[in-house]
A and B are shown apart, each in its own frame.
Chain A
Amino acid sequence: MSNGVHIEQISFLGLAKQNMRKLSMFIMLGMILIVFAVLTGGVNLTPRNITNIFIQNSYILILAVGMVLVIIIGNIDLSVGSVVAFSGAISAMLYNTGMGLIPTLLLSLVIGGLIGCFQAFWIAYMRIPAFIVTLAGMLLFRGLTYIITNVTPISLRDDGFKQIASGSLNIKGFSVGGLDGLSLLVMVVVILLLVWFTLHQRRRKIHNGFTVLAFRFDVYKIVALSALVMFVFTRFAAYRGIPTVVLVLFLVTALFVFITNNTVLGRYIYAVGGNAKSAKLSGINAEQVTFITHVIMGVICGLSGLVFTAYMNSALPQAGDKFELDAIASCFIGGAAASGGIGTIIGAITGGLVMGAINNGMSLMNIGADWQYVVKASILLLAVFYDIWSRKKSGLG
């Protein structure tokens, strides 16, 4: 089998058709950006605005990464907004004791994780529906936030904390033709890694005697992804460089893409969400997997709370209001199934960017929150309708 290369015979259109469901959310994001580019005269694609879209949505995107795991396992988490507020307030208090940034960061993650353990215990081992446990958690942690903050904002002792959200990664004096040098360097490295990774995977598949697509499709893929990377990084380079929070978001995303695709835990999450009874009889400890998933969500809430406190430059008692809804909507726009077992990290991130791009575009057009809600609602409904409709059509039930 290992000699000779098996190439799948398929045309470009056929391939596009096959992957329409996967591609649709990227197309949607692209279309939304283009529509607003026309409506705002291109303002939404300026370096400053692209940077802002990432910074303003970073904490939601981080939450969406955890939320999609919870949704894949067939549950929901309504408490994330309150937990963000609570852990954000605690991180501000810790930082104000004079503690350094790194210990503050680690402690917030631990606190998020402990909150996750608390909720996960009721969900996984006491078998109380996640909807109810996290509804209680939403009230509980909002209440606790009010108690520990005395319902007054906590300002931070200095500007160090703020850097997590609004700071940038730069090397002093390193610039190319007025553009930030580090951004361009990272851009080149990312593109090279992309090329290497695609070719490496292809070689491995051929080596194992698996069927591969024709080489030109790999080229198309590299060109498309490189164009996207170049677009984003040149925007960063032309403004203030790569925002620190984008690095944080990238690390979280990469870690969980890897976990969902390549680890036993990730596959167990999909298995339990796909059919918990089958998974148990297959020898998977479904309770433990559910527990871990909700603990991960807690840790991610801790991180998001930290980022949000940094973004606001103070911890607000009412922080995180409706974050859970934005995070959940991101997952569903990104193709997750409410019945569990289906969903991807990249999908959730894309879904979050769709919501962010709409918010941002409408704000640039001076359209108020009232209409933003209406448009977001329509997009959510339409996106999920398309998902269910196309799934039915392609026999995925």
Chain B
Amino acid sequence: MSEQYILEVNNLTKDFPGVRALDNVDFKVRRGEIHCLVGENGAGKSTLMNVVSGVYPKGSYEGHVVFKGKETHYRSTKDSELDGLAIIHQELTLSPYLSIYENLFLGHMETRFGIINWDKCLKDSYPLLKRVGLNEKPQTIVSKMSVGKQQLVEIARAISQKAELLIFDEPTSSLNDDESQKLLDLMREFRKEGITCVMISHKLDEVLSVADSITILRDGQSIVSFDLRERRVTEQEIIKEMVGRELKNLFPQKEPDIGEVVFEVKDWNVYHPDYHTMKIIDNASFHVKKGEIVSFCGPMGAGRTEMMMSIFGNSYGYGATGEIFLKGEKVSFRNPKDAIEKGVGYVSEDRKSLGLILIQDVKTNITNSSLRRLAKHGIIDKDLELRKAEQYKETLQIKTPSLQQLVRNLSGGNQQKVVLSRCLLADPDIFIVDEPTRGIDVGAKFEIYSILNDMVKEGKSVIVVSSELAEAISMSDRIYVMNEGKIKGVLNRDEATQERIMHMALID
């Protein structure tokens, strides 16, 4: 084992119920370099970093992780932090109502007889903030600062604990250009000081500007590593390796029968629910035709879910503006109820906390959106309700011992079918499905694609938000590509390839 590697991952395999997230991954990071980890959504980047940093404890995976020449035995991130390995997550983990310096030393304050020496904490915080280039008083309350500055606090917190390896999980995804540049400069600064950095990123220009090495993951496997000190690598080359998989025949055939435009959104703008000046969706316009399946692609954080939820009755964000036209008529949706009544359905990407009521049974979950139509004078026709639920259980082939089974006891694929049933029973004309196949097995995926195909056959329109490019290309008639809150372009079925989509999202 050579000393030049600070981190070595060998033959790492990690399984989740029904899914192999990592498959025999090798990953080597040299001491003092900036190493970028790239791959499509779901390629296993975050899982790999979570294994390395002890989020998944020793024993929950197979293979070896060697840090500073020793095999690791982390039971939690606390252990890895003590060992000098810190991870800066995409979602910030600061305590929002505490000040900068309180956050900096949270969990490892200087104490005497259990009493915190706040003066020392405050004093120690100045050099740390200077080092990360954060020009704020340590007493500033964290939630009052921008996301970029909050991130700097996280980084300062990590280096205060003598971190030797810093892992950044998509650090620039919620930063503006200026803040991103500053962060990349900071990483270069760390490199000079001998601190090793690993960065997960979708932004290839940033990757190429800062990286010494690049490792590409695809479908849970490590595909290739480039050493940029040996030779130059182009964005095209990276994209090819990221998506270079064969399209297998995993998708049902469909014959499109497309009519006129039935749903149109113009100049849609949405701001962050908490930071009202931060634009999440920037002037997005799109349309959907009758009988059409339209996909929205783009990297994580592109704003696809946020846009759909804000359109669906202001379920996300602040101060949404723009126009919606339904069958040529201008409409507005005050809340989800309004949207559903006017014929729009939405299936959330987060089925457990936004799609289902886990403590209720299958029947109740299926009928929750349609109770008014199953009732007369507010009194539910329980026989009709049961028959409808039974009907959807049959047509969507929901595998459950009975309709009285609690949905929490169903598998992911069957839970998804329950959510689909609920929305279908409300009989929407425009059906928005957000990551309809996330976390479910191949067989169930095929069934769900067939359900969507059946819908458009009936003359309805389907909008799919998908992070799986292969799925989007095979399923849809048109593909909108999004990134950073903007619609970057649109591709027809015959011109869409994985390379072109990635190119449009990341480079154009």
Chain A interface residues (CB < 8 Å from chain B): 204, 208, 210-211, 262-265, 267-268, 270-271, 274-275, 277-285, 341-342, 395-397
10 A-B interface contacts by CB (under 8 A): A208-B383, A263-B375, A263-B380, A264-B380, A265-B378, A271-B364, A271-B368, A278-B357, A281-B346, A283-B336
If A277-B353, A341-B357 touch, whether A396 touches B335 (CB-CB below 8 Å) is no
Q: A262-B380, A395-B409, A397-B408 are in contact. Are A279 and B375 (CB under 8 A)?
A: no
Q: A208-B387, A210-B386 are in contact. Are A267 and B359 (CB under 8 A)?
A: no
Quick check: A283 and B357 within 8 Å, CB to CB?
no
Complex contact B368–A267 (CB within 8 A): yes
The number of chain B residues touching the other chain, given as a range, is 35 or more
Residues of A within 8 Å of B77, CB to CB, are none
Q: How far is the CB of B58 from chain A (nearest CB, A)?
A: 28
- Chain B residues positioned under 8 Å from A270 (CB to CB): 360, 364
| A280 and B315 within 8 A (CB) | yes
Instruction: Please tell me if the beta carbons of B315 and A281 are within 8 angstroms of each other in the complex.
Output: yes
Return the contact of A282 from the options B341, B368, B379, B402 (Cβ within 8 A).
B368
Top 3 closest A-B pairs, CB basis? A283-B340, A274-B357, A283-B337
| Inter-chain contact A280/B359, CB cutoff 8 Å | no
For A267, give its contact among B337, B339, B364, B426 (CB under 8 Å): B364
Most buried by A among B337, B406, B409: B337
- Given A263-B375, A267-B371, A396-B406, A275:B348 Cβ within 8 A: no
A287 to chain B, nearest CB (A): 9
**B369 with A283: CB separation less than 8 A:** yes
Tell whether, in the assembled complex, residue B368 and residue A285 are in contact, meaning their CB atoms are under 8 Å apart.
no
Whether B290 sits at the interface, judged by CB under 8 Å, is no
Residues in A with CB closer than 8 Å to B371 are 264, 267-268
Among B335, B383, B387, B402, which residue has its beta carbon within 8 angstroms of that of A211?
B402
- Name the CB-closest residue of A to B340: A283
A397 and chain B: residue at smallest CB distance: B408
- Residues in chain A near residue B346, CB distance under 8 A: 281
**Known contacts A210-B386, A264-B371: A278-B402 contact under CB 8 Å:** no
> Does B337 lie within 8 Å of A284, measured CB to CB?
yes
Task: From A204, A262, A264, A271, give the contact of B360 (CB < 8 A).
Answer: A271
**How distant is the Cα of A78 from the Cα of B138 in the complex, in angstroms?**
42
Not counting A271-B364, A275-B359, a sample of 6 additional A-B residue pairs whose C-beta atoms are within 8 angstroms of each other reads A262-B379, A264-B372, A264-B375, A281-B312, A283-B426, A341-B359
The distance in angstroms between the C-alpha atoms of A395 and B360, with both chains bound, is: 13
Indicate which residue in A204, A263, A277, A280 contacts B378 across the interface (CB closer than 8 Å).
A263
| With A264-B380, A283-B340: A271-B357 Cβ-Cβ less than 8 Å | yes
A interface footprint on B336-360 (CB within 8 Å = 1, 0 otherwise): 1101110000101000011111111
A79 to chain B, nearest CB (A): 28
Whether B359 pairs with A274 at a CB distance below 8 angstroms is yes
Q: Are B354 and A278 in contact (CB under 8 A)?
A: yes
Contact A275–B375 (Cβ < 8 Å): no
Residues of the B chain whose Cβ atoms lie less than 8 Å from the Cβ of A281: 312, 315, 336, 346, 348, 354-355
